[in-house]
A and B are shown apart, each in its own frame.
Chain A
Amino acid sequence: MDVLLAVLFVVLAPVIGGLVAGIDRKVTARMQGRVGPPLLQPFYDVAKLFEKEQILVTPSQNFYITAYLVFIVVSGALFFAGGDLLLVIFAFTLAHIFLVLGAYSAYSPYSFIGAERELIQIIAYEPMIIISAVGMYMVTRSFYVADIMAAKVPLISYLPGVFVGFLMVLTIKLRKSPFDLSTSHHAHQEIVKGVTTEFSGPMLGRVEIAHWYENVFLLGFIYLFFAANPPVAILVVAIVYFLEILVDNTYARVTWQLTLKSAWIIAGLMGLANLGILYYLSEVLHV
Chain B
Amino acid sequence: MSFLPRSPWILHYDASSCNGCDIEVLACLSPLYDVERFGIVNTGNPKHADVLVITGGINEQNREVVRNIYDQMPDPKVVVAVGICACTGGVFRECYNVVGGIDCILPVDVYVPGCAARPESIIDGIVRALAILGEKRKLLETKRTKEQGGEDTAPGGRK
Residue numbers of A with Cβ under 8 A of B are 25, 29, 32-38, 41, 44-45, 47-48, 51-56, 187, 189, 192-193, 196-202, 204
Contact = CB atoms under 8 A, between A and B. Distances in A.
A200 B74 contact: yes
A257 to B, nearest CB: 24
Contact of B43 (A38, A56, A187): A187
Interface in B95-139: 137
Contacts of A201: 74, 156
B145 interface: no
B158 A53 contact: yes
Contact of B75 (A53, A192, A197, A199): A53
Nearest to B1: A47
B90 interface: no
A49 B151 CA distance: 24
Interface stretch (B33-41, B57-65, B81-89): B33-41
Given A37-B37, A37-B38, 15 more contacts: A29-B34, A34-B31, A34-B34, A34-B36, A37-B39, A41-B6, A41-B7, A44-B6, A47-B3, A48-B3, A53-B74, A53-B156, A53-B158, A193-B43, A199-B47
Given A29-B36, A51-B2, A51-B3, A200 B43 contact: no
A48 B48 contact: no
B44 A192 contact: yes
Contacts of B142: none
A189 B41 CA distance: 12
B16 interface: no
Interface of B: 2-4, 6-7, 29, 31, 34, 36-39, 41-45, 47-48, 50, 72, 74-76, 137, 140, 156-158
A69 B48 CA distance: 19
Contacts of B31: 32-34
A36 B74 contact: no
Contacts of A35: 34, 37
A33 B156 CA distance: 39
Contacts, number: 85
Among B4, B44, B47: residue with most chain A CB under 10 A: B47
A138 B17 CA distance: 63
B158 A52 contact: no
B48 A204 contact: yes
B70 to A, nearest CB: 13
A42 to B, nearest CB: 9
B156 A202 contact: yes
Contacts of B3: 44, 47-48, 51
Contacts of A37: 36-39
Given A52-B156, A53-B156, A55-B74, A192 B45 contact: yes
B98 to A, nearest CB: 27
Contacts of A54: 74, 156-158
A197 B39 contact: no
Given A41-B39, A54-B74, A193 B44 contact: yes
A202 B47 CA distance: 12
B14 to A, nearest CB: 13
Nearest to A198: B47
Contacts of B4: 48, 51-52
B75 A52 contact: yes
A200 B47 contact: yes
Nearest to B34: A34
22 contacts: A33-B31, A34-B31, A35-B34, A37-B37, A37-B38, A38-B39, A41-B7, A44-B3, A44-B7, A45-B39, A47-B3, A48-B50, A51-B137, A52-B76, A53-B76, A54-B74, A54-B157, A187-B41, A192-B45, A193-B45, A193-B48, A200-B47
Nearest to A202: B156
Closest 7 A-B residue pairs measured CB to CB? A189-B44, A200-B47, A47-B3, A54-B156, A53-B74, A48-B7, A44-B6
A204 B6 CA distance: 17
Contacts of B137: 51
Contacts of B43: 187, 193
Contacts of A56: 157-158
